Structure 1
Amino acid sequence: MASVASWHPLFLRPRTTSNITGTAICRKSYLQCCNNKEHDPQPEPEEKLVFGMQCQAKRRQVLLGTTLAAFSIPQFFSNIALAENVVAEDFRVFTDDVNKFQISIPLDWQEGAGEPSGFKSVTAFYPEEGVSSSISVVITGLGPDFTKMESFGKVEEFAETLVSGLDRSWQRTAGVAAKLIDSKSSKGIYYIDYTLQKPGESIKHICSALGMANNGWYNRLYTVTGQYVEEDSDKYRSKIEKAVKSFKFI
């Protein structure tokens, strides 16, 4: 499985010189936002000239980088306790009081949490059999121009941008093929289902939920990702779909 660092440059398809410049400015602006929660970065004159390209590139960078982070599942246990209340015969509620969210997970799944990096944290759940199937929650800090999910565009636009950015099947040497299955919005959360398939490998199904919340200083994007391979559909599909849809803020 590729790391976020090695995959991230692949997301931006070849662009014109002006777009590349806008993307570079976007990356600089985004890092400034994440590293300084007290002062918003002031736009430079050059940034104003490419404002439209900057916002489009920033939205794509944030959502694609966050999505791929969800595929790098940590292999260690969480110190965050599980709530005692049971929501179904084979599920239980995981509560993160620090990051203010809850999610129902299969009763026999293990959990792991990554150390925060800047404004990012990762919590993952996976069955004892291995990590080909998993559920993860990735939290990423956002700049001040992201105030609600609609800042990324409507859910249909968001989903198309996400999936097209992951798709590499158009290359001369075909890479990952991504296909959008469904997208919808409910109560401020975007739900997106799609598939990924590397050449010669099994189809991987992705169920995701994305929402935004403020921790008192800045807005944060929560990306919930459930994944399973085609041959494990009967075993994990319903559990993963239920878990992803159970995510909520507290």
Structure 2
Amino acid sequence: MASVSFMPSHFLLSHSLLQGLRRNKNSSILCCKKHGLDQKICVSVREEEHVTRRREFLFQVVSAAFIFPAVAPVALDADTEVAEDFRVYTDEVNKYRIEIPQDWQVGTGEGDGVRSLIAFYPEEASNSNVSILITGLGADFTRLESFGKVDAFAESLVGGLDRSWQRPPGVAAKLIDSKSSNGLYYIEYTLKNPGESRRHLLSVLGMANNGFYNRLYTITGQFVDEEEEKFGSKIRKAVSSFRLT
């Protein structure tokens, strides 16, 4: 069993809303199952609040990309092509492709029926990696624009992570860039906790239907300042190469 070092716990947002996300369309009641607990929380919301709620729930899902469990190495299959110093990894079941560095490892996390995770990371010990988290969504989530335009979403995401205003200061989050292209959201930002290295994160978000329900794809590449020269360009290439097929 291999493990990959991901974001420290003090960077994590609450993800109690990740499991059992549902909306009762008739009564305008939002219900969710608290993570790790056999307990449901239901709140009544006005119709005009639904867009805001959706944005908040997507924010919870994105934060789950930083929860990196142990991953088991997997062998490459016939769907993996070689392209110079990168190879093309194709997932025919989940319908996506991504280019990853030739010598990087591939690992999978345990699925829970709602989420599945795959990771790509250097063989050597490192804080650099790329992960793909696929999360099932309710029928209410039909397209990325349901959560707002990319710029507004990116600002909400990074603003929600920033704690530099606290006394003493917490993690400092800075939005670098955000754009929408080919049905995907691209967001780049940095996080720096006092006394630790600055972490660069590049995220791509997409949505697709598997024939039964919509799913959110969250691709996250990250590296710290000290590893930017060695891994920065590789991670940027990998993240930008992601395509739904």
Same fold (TM over 0.5): yes
* Structure 2 Cα separation of the partners of residues 202 and 32 of structure 1: 35
Say whether the 8 Å CA contact 2:28–2:47 is kept in structure 1.
no
Local SS of the residue matching 1:201: coil
How much has 1:61 moved relative to structure 2? 2.7
Task: Give 1:204's match in structure 2, choosing from 190, 199, 202.
Answer: 199
1:23-62 to 2 correspondence within 5 Å? Answer: 27=17, 31-33=20-22, 41-44=24-27, 49-62=45-58
Local SS of the residue matching 1:164: helix
Local SS of the residue matching 1:117: coil
Indicate the residue corresponding to 1:8 in structure 2: 13
Indicate the residue corresponding to 1:163 in structure 2: 158
Structure 1 stretches lacking a partner, 5+ long: 12-23, 34-39
Indicate the residue corresponding to 2:61 in structure 1: 65
* Structure 1 Cα separation of the partners of residues 48 and 192 of structure 2: 32
* Structure 2 Cα separation of the partners of residues 63 and 82 of structure 1: 35
* Structure 2 Cα separation of the partners of residues 45 and 68 of structure 1: 26
Structure 2 stretches lacking a partner, 5+ long: 1-6, 30-42
Cα 1:32/1:228, change in 2 over 3 Å = closer
How much has 1:54 moved relative to structure 2? 4.2
How many residues in Structure 1 have an aligned counterpart in Structure 2? 226
Q: Which moved more, 1:217-226 or 1:109-118?
A: 109-118
Q: Which moved more, 1:51-60 or 1:123-132?
A: 51-60
Say whether the 8 Å CA contact 1:83–1:92 is kept in structure 2.
no
Indicate the residue corresponding to 2:124 in structure 1: 129
Cα 1:213/1:45, change in 2 over 3 Å = closer
Residue 144 (str. 1) matches residue 139 (str. 2): yes
Indicate the residue corresponding to 1:99 in structure 2: 94
Cα 1:51/1:130, change in 2 over 3 Å = farther
Indicate the residue corresponding to 2:79 in structure 1: 83
Say whether the 8 Å CA contact 2:65–2:131 is kept in structure 1.
no
Say whether the 8 Å CA contact 2:58–2:147 is kept in structure 1.
no
Indicate the residue corresponding to 1:220 in structure 2: 215
Local SS of the residue matching 1:8: coil
Q: Which amino acid aligns with 2:237?
A: K
Residue 179 (str. 1) matches residue 174 (str. 2): yes
Deviation string 1:75-121 (CA, Å, 9 cap, x unpaired) is 4213563634222x210011111111111000010011112123210
How much has 1:246 moved relative to structure 2? 0.6
| Higher fraction of strand | 2
* Structure 1 Cα separation of the partners of residues 28 and 217 of structure 2: 32
How much has 1:64 moved relative to structure 2? 3.5
* Structure 1 Cα separation of the partners of residues 26 and 9 of structure 2: 31
* Structure 2 Cα separation of the partners of residues 153 and 224 of structure 1: 19
Cα 1:60/1:49, change in 2 over 3 Å = closer
RMSD of aligned residue pairs (Cα, Å): 2.6
Q: Kindly, what percent of the aligned residue pairs are identical?
A: 50
Say whether the 8 Å CA contact 1:174–1:199 is kept in structure 2.
yes
Say whether the 8 Å CA contact 2:71–2:107 is kept in structure 1.
yes
How much has 1:55 moved relative to structure 2? 3.4
* Structure 2 Cα separation of the partners of residues 136 and 63 of structure 1: 17
Cα 1:212/1:80, change in 2 over 3 Å = farther
* Structure 2 Cα separation of the partners of residues 150 and 141 of structure 1: 17
How much has 1:141 moved relative to structure 2? 1.1
Normalised by the length of structure 1, the TM-score is 0.81
Residue 194 (str. 1) matches residue 189 (str. 2): yes
* Structure 1 Cα separation of the partners of residues 153 and 77 of structure 2: 33
How much has 1:172 moved relative to structure 2? 2.4
